[in-house]
Structure 1
Amino acid sequence: MEDRKMLWQDPREIHMNQQGAWLALGDYNAILDSEDRIIGNLVREMEIVDFNEFLLDSSIIEMRSRGRSFTWTNRHISRKIDRVLVNGEWMLMFPQLEVHVMDPKFPDHSPLRVQIAMENYEYPKPFRFLNCIVDHEEFLGLCRECGFIVEEKGI
């Protein structure tokens, strides 16, 4: 864990010197919380504190993901150690992007793919009024109650 602390120094410097949106994708070989590992030893605070501090210091966050919960396995233990990290500018420029954690094609790691989240695209929906609604016995009363001006006309 002590050697891993050196890994966070380069990305910290990138954050301090880099302007604009940036993304860092890869195997960080670290977990963020206890839910990032199943089976095996219990997660201890000292295992997650450095990586969490790195994210806070660098003002970066993990990109939203879909698919598999864990990105690495040895068939006995599963962990989430592969991530896509982005800064705030990236999230503002590309809020519709997300990471898809795919099924592993190699013995232990799941590939990550950054993709456009189609369900986030909002298309205007056409207004539809069902004429049968006006025949409902409570329709006029509800319209008055909501402040709509309703004129009843006799036939």
Structure 2
Amino acid sequence: MHRPDGPRDSLAFSAEESDAVQAAITAVAPTWAGGQRVTLHGLFDRWKSVIGEVEEGYSWCAPELSDDIWCRGVLAKIWPKLPARVREIRRPELDGVDERYRRATIPWPGRAEDDAEWWIWRIPRRLEVEASEQRGEGWPLGWAMMPFPKPDSVEVIS
């Protein structure tokens, strides 16, 4: 039987676990924007992809980052609904990619580090912009709506 998360997860999860995983996902986010079914593997892959972009230098605007990290919010919502063994198997991977995101970002000034949705309240350490979008020492175009001055620890590269 083909499992929604492909060969990697189907080897580790029983049919009942896979069905429970998909039911949890379907209850929160049944499809991606393009209409494809959301899977646990897909959520992890998307989260890792976003982190890779942030590590290299995020080249999109602040609202785009909010859209891109949507996958982490879905993971948070489904996590308590997943079978315990699935959480146990995937927890080290989630902790590892979350740590990468923390290292590639800085905390939003004035926000507690332990907020339930901590990933929302972080800013990439490196913003990659076109030279024409650079605005002196402040936020570049696409980030100017931030409600605080650009921290010195945020590097803007072109």
Q: Give the TM-score, by structure 2 length.
A: 0.30
Higher relative contact order (CA 8 A, sep 6+): 2
Structure with greater strand percent? 1
Structure with greater helix percent? 2
Larger-Rg structure = 1
